[in-house]
Amino acid sequence: MAHHITVMGSSWCSDCKRAKRFLGDQQVEYRWVDVEQDDEARRFVEEHNDGKTIIPTIVFDDGTILVEPTNAQLAEKLGLATMAQHRFYDLIVVGGGPAGLTAAFYASREGLSTLVLERSSLGGQAALTERLDNYPGFPAGLTGADFGKRLVEQSKRLDVEMISAAEVATIAEEGHDRLVRTEEGAEYRAHAVVLAPGNAYRRLGAPGEDDLIGAGIHYCATCDGPFYKGKELAVIGGGNSAAEEGSFLTQFASHVTMLVRGDKLTASKIYHDKVINHPKMDVRFNVSVKRFLGKKHLEGIVVETPKGEETLRPAAVFVFIGLKPNTDFLKDTVRLTKEGFIDAADCATSMRGVFAAGDVADTVADGLAVPGAGGPATAAPAAPAAVTCTTLIPGQRFVLVPDRSLNMAGGQFDPTPHGANTWRGHRDTPQGGGRRPAAPWPRAAGPRRPPRGWKAAGSPGESSARPPCCPPPAGPAAAG
């Protein structure tokens, strides 16, 4: 559904930057008006705020006006679900990127009621990537937006419930359950939780950077590139993300200069060649950023070069120097590495019944490089082989979600001849007389059967049954 939205604010306003970022994440087009440069817009804002300049003031196509809205309020206005239908699920997945959504629909298709909580937009970083050229099965490549849309549509088809703008605040054990609280105060319980919060773009940490984010310093070419048509831009970084996003920016910019700290590009050959041979791009090596200049908007970059300090004057800077894990909310919950990744041997975290998946887990192996991935787990967002904990690859670690976590909670799966799944010894079973989960499992035609193949590879009692789509792994290489 198309939206005609006008966002009125100022380049120094942090709430304006947040609102713009949220709309950009949702791939919602909007018109940006700086009230410091547009007197008519400033008068409009003051008229609707009792003479005060309160920003952002956002006007929607139906005439509705929101002043300083939260992400949840924006999501509600855009028609995005902000509250789950139930309070108890078999599985809650924190993070709606490729890793989290894949884990979710694998669980849901095996009969588990599944909820995905995503703090921003479904599809994750991969959905904001200009193009994916190395994802298996798409020989011509596909856009990140198309990839994210396909993931969401597939999850919906498999009855996964998904909530955007739901930022998780805490995760705790409460009896046999895992209790998940959001920043908005909602509480949900589950037998098990999969953590797949993904990563965020890493900042340089140079003086002046924080004050100019969204005012000449950006981390998303797809979101902010169109604002700089015909301008000269700079891209900081030398990896796949920097090369691919820099190439994308040439659609709008008159020229793009890449500033690389080392003496060569670290991007893969396809992106390396694209940059070197592009007529509107050049690369400067051995350049490091010292500080950013400007008060309300970027005015310059002071860099250190082999010949000494130099001041550059691009219209804007796009920073692509890797990613940092979104694990701040987990610092007192599960064990993290010193880099902030989740320490999760065999996908299991230090909290019972809680597992990690995707590029935020310290267990991810090398795999396919994806533009925008970055960080130690360069492969993660779109590579099935690289996210075995998330994608739940049959016959390998396909299993951790229901079986291992529920056994730890005291329950054992019992296939009964009565066409119903029963958890023996668990307080949520009919035998125990306790409550049932609020969200019933999807019921397929014919008798129900237990999920097949949901045992951790190499764990005691490993199931030999495997989903019909996938044969047993062939030898050590397939065992991952």
> Rounded distance, CA 348 to CA 56, Å?
42
Token reading at 111: 């009969």
Burial pattern 257-284, b for ≥16 Cβ within 10 A else e, equals bbbbeeeebebbeebbebbeeeeebebe
* Amino acid 377: pLDDT: 29
Rg of the chain's alpha carbons, rounded to an integer? 24
In the numeric block, which tokens belong to residue 109? 């298709």
pLDDT at 342: 92
Please give the Cα distance from 165 to 80 (Å, whole number).
8
32: which 2 tokens? 């940006």
- The predicted model scores a pTM of 0.64
pLDDT per residue over 243-265, tens digit each?
989 999 999 999 999 999 999 99
Q: Look up residue 91 and give its two tokens.
A: 């599985």
On the question of a cis peptide bond just before residue 402, with omega within 30 degrees of 0, the verdict is no
Residue 295's pLDDT is 83
Give a three-class secondary structure readout of 211-222: HHECCCEECCHH
Task: Please state the length of the chain.
Answer: 480
User: What span, in angstroms and rounded, lies between the C-alpha atoms of 210 and 20?
Assistant: 16
Residue 3, pLDDT score: 59
* Contact present, 357 and 341 (Cβ < 8 Å): no
How far apart are the C-alpha atoms of 475 and 456, rounded to whole Å?
17
Q: Which two tokens stand for residue 30?
A: 């909007």
Write out the two tokens for 219: 């981390």
Beta strands in 138-209 (DSSP E): 161-163, 168-174, 177-182, 187-195, 199-201
380: closest CA among 160, 132, 155, 187? 132
| Residue 6 DSSP code | E
SS3 40: helix
Task: Give residue 311's pLDDT.
Answer: 95
At 22 the pLDDT is 83
Place of tokens 């000269």: 232
pLDDT in tens, the chain (480 residues): 455 899 999 877 778 878 887 887 777 889 999 888 899 998 999 898 888 788 899 999 899 999 989 888 898 898 887 789 999 999 999 999 999 999 999 899 988 999 999 988 788 877 767 677 777 888 888 887 788 889 989 999 999 999 988 899 999 999 889 999 999 899 999 999 999 998 888 899 899 998 888 788 988 887 778 878 899 999 999 999 899 899 999 999 999 999 999 999 999 888 899 999 999 999 999 999 999 999 878 999 999 999 999 999 999 999 999 888 999 999 989 999 988 999 987 788 999 999 998 888 875 433 333 322 333 323 333 323 223 343 332 333 333 333 333 332 322 332 223 223 322 223 333 333 333 333 333 333 333 333 433 333 333 333 333 333 333 333 333 333
Tell me the residue type at 41.
A
pLDDT for position 358 = 86
Helix or strand holding residue 388 (H, E): helix 388-391
Which residue intervals of 80-233 are DSSP H helices? 98-109, 124-128, 144-157, 221-224
CA 133 to chain centre: 19
Burial class (CB in 10 A: 0-12, 13-18, 19+), 399: buried
pLDDT digits (tens, 9 = 90+) for 30-86: 999 988 889 999 899 989 888 878 889 999 989 999 998 988 889 889 888 778 999
Question: In the structure encoding, which two tokens stand for residue 136, read together?
Answer: 């298996």
Q: Which residues pair with 449 in a beta bridge?
A: none
End-to-end Cα separation, the chain, in angstroms? 42
